[in-house]
Amino acid sequence: RTIHILNGPNLNLLGTREPGVYGTATLADVEQRCADVATALGCRAECRQSNHEGRLVDWLQEIGREVAEGRSIGVVLNPGAYTHTSVAIRDAIAGAQVPVVEIHVSNVHAREEFRRHSYVTPVARGVIAGLGPIGYELAIRALVEG
């Protein structure tokens, strides 16, 4: 079965983007680790990134169909800034009934006030924030074993 790793806007810049906040691991590094962890747990990681809200919605709907057919376990989702703005992503998760673990590389609660609210959290299984890229591995483990 497949586990999907979806990264939203600006996460393609991981490694060079505000390294003091997000660290020096690149998105390619993170995705490689995800693939390795998924393989070790007996499944397959499919990793995608988009800067476009509608594309993330399309992917969530598609994954919802895969979950319904038993082909996918769910999604590790870092919605980036859409976390704090996107009713559309929230509705896609609720509508497609996709198991989602929300993940943030940085500790969103220790930063600006506007990062403390997430539209995604109420429809997520759980949230991991502030642990760096290891959060993705923990989220995969939670979905596969949980």
Residues of each annotated binding site for substrate: 78, 84, 91, 105-106, 115
* Total residue count of the chain as it appears in this document: 146
Kindly list the catalytic residues.
22, 104
Q: For ligand DQA, give the closer residue by CB, 34 or 66.
A: 34
Q: How far is the CB of 71 from ligand DQA (least distance, A)?
A: 27
Instruction: Please tell me the distance from the alpha carbon of residue 82 to that of residue 59, in angstroms, as a whole number.
Output: 15
Tokens of 70: 């038993």
Q: For ligand DQA, give the closer residue by CB, 3 or 108.
A: 108
Alpha helices by DSSP H, 41-85: 53-68
Q: How far is the CB of 72 from ligand DQA (least distance, A)?
A: 22
Task: Please report, as ranges, the residues that interact with ligand DQA according to CB under 6 A.
Answer: 10, 78, 80-81, 83, 104-106, 108, 115
Beta strands in the chain (DSSP E): 2-7, 44-49, 72-78, 100-104, 126-129
